Amino acid sequence: MQECYADLHIHTNVSDGFISPAELVIQLKNAGVKHFAITDHDAVAGIDEAVRRSKIYGLNVVPGVELSAEYNKKDLHILGYFINHHNKRFLDYLYLFKRRRFQRAQEMVELLVQQGIKIDLKQVTKLAGNGPLGRPHIADALIKLEVVGSRNEAFEKFLHKGGSIYVEKYRITVKEVIELIHSVGGAAFLAHPGLDADENIISELVDVGLDGIETVHSKHTVEMIDQFTKIAEKFSLLTSGGSDFHGDPEDNVKLGEHCVSEDVVKNIENYCIKHRDEWVIDDADKEDI
Ligand code: AMP
Ligand code: ZN
Ligand code: FE
Ligand code: FE
């Protein structure tokens, strides 16, 4: 097995992934991954369980999150690493996002009903457990109803931006997201820039405090990894990387194939320790990070 040190972008069933944090740790161990970040959408409830399990299997966890941010009407995803995921104010924000996601799912289900699809909001909420509702949960409900065969088909038919039931997600600005991540001691990275961004956008994000970009990603080609590594160097940004694994049996993303080195993880951690003095850390946290 080829050496794969760290995967810093993974979703669990706490948001829209398929497997639990406990199962994830076993799968990571089997894939030879040593260090990983759980980066659930607007949720951190899987981290403590992953830390507990990781102690048994000798793995290391970076507490993380993936937040949606608004930038010039576009939706950008920002990863937070080494965050204090117990901070009360931070959890209040996540609760607000979750409430808004619920309202959005309600609207999308209503649009499906208007199109003649017999679906009930409860069929969707059941699939999300207690976590934040996302478009993938609506896709899963449509799979159960045999309207579509996969998440991907549901996105192509209904859920893509501009699709017949698409509703915008509530989000705060990218500057606010970066400040929020800094306020809990974490570093803010632009996720999968190859899907959403270019050098111009990245340079503007640097001006509002971005710390790094994700170079390695399951949807990045080798050329993109190279291109974004060069952009990171140009703007003195940190780099990160991971699979964006969701555990979806219908996609081909696997653990142990999209990795970064131990140095990449150490650089991010040391950077956070160094910058916490200048970031406006939430008062309640000053003692415990
Ligand atoms: P939301 O945050 O509710 O807008 O949902 C966005 C999530 O949907 C992203 O995290 C992706 O993982 C997932 N997603 C986007 N496009 C697709 C697709 N074509 N197939 C499966 N999942 C997708
Ligand atoms: Zn997702
Ligand atoms: Fe994302
Ligand atoms: Fe992701």
CB 155 near ligand 1, within 6 Å: yes
Question: At 280, is the pLDDT very low, low, confident or very high (cuts 50, 70, 90)?
Answer: confident
Q: Which of 44, 114, 101, 79 is nearest to 212 (CA)?
A: 79
Beta strands in 11-73 (DSSP E): 33-38, 60-71
Beta strands in 82-181 (DSSP E): 172-173
CA 20 to ligand 2 centroid distance, Å:
14
- HSE at residue 232, side-chain half, CA atoms within 13 A, is 23
Whole-angstrom distance, CA of residue 222 vs CA of residue 215: 10
Neighbour count for residue 83 (Cβ, 10 Å): 28
Residue-wise pLDDT tens digits, 168-206: 999 999 999 999 999 999 999 999 999 999 999 999 999
CA of 137, closest atom in ligand 1: 3
Residue-wise pLDDT tens digits, 38-52: 999 999 999 999 999
CA 142 to ligand 2 centroid distance, Å:
17
CB 135 near ligand 1, within 6 Å: yes
CA distances from 227 to 174, 222, 268 (A): 23, 9, 20
Q: Which of 83, 19, 14, 18 is nearest to 46 (CA)?
A: 14
Q: The pTM is what?
A: 0.96
CB 136 near ligand 1, within 6 Å: yes
Residues lying with their CB under 5 A of ligand 4, a single-atom ion: 66, 244
Q: Which of 249, 246, 235 is nearest to 190 (CA)?
A: 235
Question: At 232, is the pLDDT very low, low, confident or very high (cuts 50, 70, 90)?
Answer: very high
Instruction: Return the residue matching tokens 């740790």.
Output: 25
Question: At 282, is the pLDDT very low, low, confident or very high (cuts 50, 70, 90)?
Answer: confident
Does residue 2 surpass a pLDDT of 80? no
Looking at residues 144-164, what average pLDDT do you find?
97
Burial 16-41 (b: 16+ CB within 10 A, else e): bbbbbbeebbebbbebebbbbbbbbb
CA 274 to ligand 3 centroid distance, Å:
27
pLDDT recorded at residue 286: 65
Whole-angstrom distance, CA of residue 129 vs CA of residue 10: 18
Q: Percent of the chain having pLDDT more than 90?
A: 95
CA 12 to ligand 1 centroid distance, Å:
13
Residue-wise pLDDT tens digits, 48-90: 999 999 999 999 999 999 999 999 999 999 999 999 999 999 9
CB 169 near ligand 1, within 6 Å: yes
Q: Are 187 and 238 in contact (CB under 8 A)?
A: yes
Whole-angstrom distance, CA of residue 157 vs CA of residue 143: 12
